[in-house]
Amino acid sequence: MKIRSLNLKKTNKAQVLGMPFQMIFSLIVIAFIIYVGFITIKGFMENTDRIKIASFASDFKYDINNLWQMTSASKVYTYDLPAKITNVCFASTSKSLSSESKNLSQIFADIKKIPNSASNNLFLYPASFPSNLGVPASFKIDCGETVKVACLDISELPNPYCIPVSKGTVKISLVKEGKIVKVVKSESQTSLAAPVPLTGEKQISGGAYSFSLNGESHTIEIKKKTSDYIELTISSEPQTVRVNNGETKEVDINNDGTSDLTLSYDGNKLSMSPVAPSAPAYEPTEKYSAKVYEWSTETSPDTKIVLLRNLDDSGYLRGKYVNIHYPCLAPPPLEQAAAPANAIVCKKVDIPGPPAYSAENIFLYEPIPYGSSNYFLPNYEGQHFDEVMLYYGYNLAAEYFDNNFGLRTKYPMGVEVYNPGVPCTAVVTAATHSGQHVLQYSLNVKCPDIKGDVFQSSFYRDTRLMFHEAVHAIFLDALKQEVNDRINIEREPSGFTISEGYAIYLSNAYFNNSKEGFGGVPINFDTEGVLYEPPKSATEGLNVGSIYAFAGSLWDIKKQIGADKTATLVTKSWGIMPVAGGKPDMAIDAMLALLEADRAYNFEDKDIIKQAFTRHGIECPAGCPY
């Protein structure tokens, strides 16, 4: 009995010790099976896509040869392709981009980069997809087996001519005429524009629209539209979506389990915009960590940890675009004495305490609560928090204009907060070089008023207003020097109007806010009767009504063609604004420059631009060339 009992205990102990190993081993086996299955499925899908591309090229060449041998014939051929191929293009890379295909300039530039494709005439877009699979992205289509004949004629097509791939299917119309085969340009085969990065809101009312999001190309095509709902297809991972009137819906467009696109429908137009990414949870000990307020909010904000970008590792809040707490605000090498006598130059100010500094480049300061009577006393930690907010806001704007439009100030913007000696008051200034001149913008900031749980944002705690001020510097730096002089030296009254109008429009469009203007003052750009009046003095140039009329014109254009394209036209117009020595109204100059910028798009939005400005009292003068 004892021996049997001992053996039983020994067996139980062995089982107890053995079970964890068996479980771990089983989990390892299961994980290995899942991994092998994933690799197998992925490889199978990639092979399927390779086969589709190879079959398309082979079948298309066969059909061309077959049609070429007929006396005369015409036919529409249907081919299967991977869903991530958005366009099949016919092009001659040795020829220039045709005027009819100017909206395909990006596609044309990309296919010209395909290796060993100079003599090819058929291209798949985006070329990166087949290239990543290790298969060709372009082909030379000719006829004959022993003697090759250039039988495919694309000379009558726009260069390039692109046919959209819908749900992994493309239809190509061919006709045999004489000794050649031609691709027939069909009205139903719309050449899509190169994917435009979707960075803000875009409105479409019909047809198809090609865009890129997070580095991936997609197409959205409206299939059915009523006043009650709209049905559309989104590719490259094809899916059909229905959005009801008044509904807002988030969609995962690449099947990665995360919503990418926000869609809403108002009974007439579909609005689309990227889903705002969730703020990453940064560790406070991570380099460049900083504490800031949540921006663009109307209620008492929460703080969050972010990573400040573009710092120079000096330990100060200084970097590629912005210098905070910069003595005198004027970056070297320009000294005050070198500036023209009548230019706006910076002045030295008494800095209340040392600037924010961290040898580890970590900036975690606590804000002084709103309503504090010691809001602007020297040497308090809250001032350093405000300096962080200034860097954060100005850098945000500078990155946006540099990354999207290639615009930046010649030198970093110097930004400062100082105490002028008036209780509970501070002055925020931003200065930069614009051509020969130093620009300075100032705003007096008083203690914010508390109204229940709603506060009136102070300047350096409202990122939208920092964005606004940064626009001034970037706008003036982008102008021709003679145009800059009209505003900065000659003090042209209407120059102040358009500078403020651009700043209000672009900052509000970036944050998609149509309700606030100067310092939280309510404004609705959609209000009828906000008309422009040509100013006769600098004071009139800052007339709020005229400024909102100019900004409202741009907002009307945005509603028709989208925020991205409007911003592209606006920023392009700055560099081509006419000098106009006779000093006509600069609001008219700005409108003419915007119309000229639309030339790159074959003036497709000319009427929209003119109607928007006319609505707000700014009309094309007699003899208007547009």
pLDDT of residue 206: 72
**Which H/E stretch holds residue 263?**
strand 261-265
Nearest to 330 by CA among 428, 477, 470, 439: 439
- How far is 484 from 486, CA to CA, in rounded Å? 5
Whether 111 contacts 93, CB under 8 Å = yes
pLDDT of residue 393: 86
Whether 209 contacts 219, CB under 8 Å = yes
pLDDT of residue 431: 47
pLDDT of residue 376: 42
At residue 80, does pLDDT exceed 50? Answer: yes
**DSSP assigned state of 11:** H
Q: Is the pTM of this model over 0.85?
A: no
Whether 97 contacts 120, CB under 8 Å = no
For the stretch 334-350, pLDDT in tens is: 333 444 443 333 444 44
For the stretch 378-399, pLDDT in tens is: 445 567 887 888 889 889 999 9
At residue 245, does pLDDT exceed 90? Answer: no
User: How would residue 485 be classed by pLDDT, with cut points 50, 70 and 90?
Assistant: confident
Mean pLDDT for 405-409 is 86
- How far is 181 from 199, CA to CA, in rounded Å? 42
Q: Print the SS3 string covering 517-540.
A: CHHHCECCCCCCCCCCCCCCCHHH
CATH class of 479-626: mainly alpha
At residue 85, does pLDDT exceed 50? Answer: yes
- How far is 477 from 407, CA to CA, in rounded Å? 9
pLDDT of residue 613: 93
Whether 85 contacts 165, CB under 8 Å = yes
- How far is 563 from 400, CA to CA, in rounded Å? 13
Top pLDDT among 18 and 324 is at 324
pLDDT of residue 528: 54
Q: Print the SS3 string covering 476-515.
A: HHHCCHHHHHHHHCCCCHHHHHHHHHHHHHHHHHHCCCCC
The top-scoring range by mean pLDDT among 83-92, 572-581, 588-597 is: 588-597
The side-by-side arrangement of strands in the sheet containing 216-225 is 196-197, 208-213, 216-225, 229-235, 239-244
For the stretch 442-483, pLDDT in tens is: 444 443 433 332 223 344 467 777 788 888 888 988 888 888
Mean pLDDT for 504-521 is 72
Residue extents of the structural domains in the chain: 51-183, 196-274, 280-399+406-462, 479-626
At residue 302, does pLDDT exceed 90? Answer: no
Mean pLDDT for 257-266 is 85
For the stretch 105-148, pLDDT in tens is: 778 888 888 888 888 999 998 888 888 888 888 999 888 776 67
| DSSP code string of 181-238 | EEE---TTS--PPPPEE--S-EEE-SSEEEEEETTEEEEEEEEEE-SSEEEEEEETTT
3-state class (DSSP) for residue 150: coil
> What percent of the chain has pLDDT above 90?
13
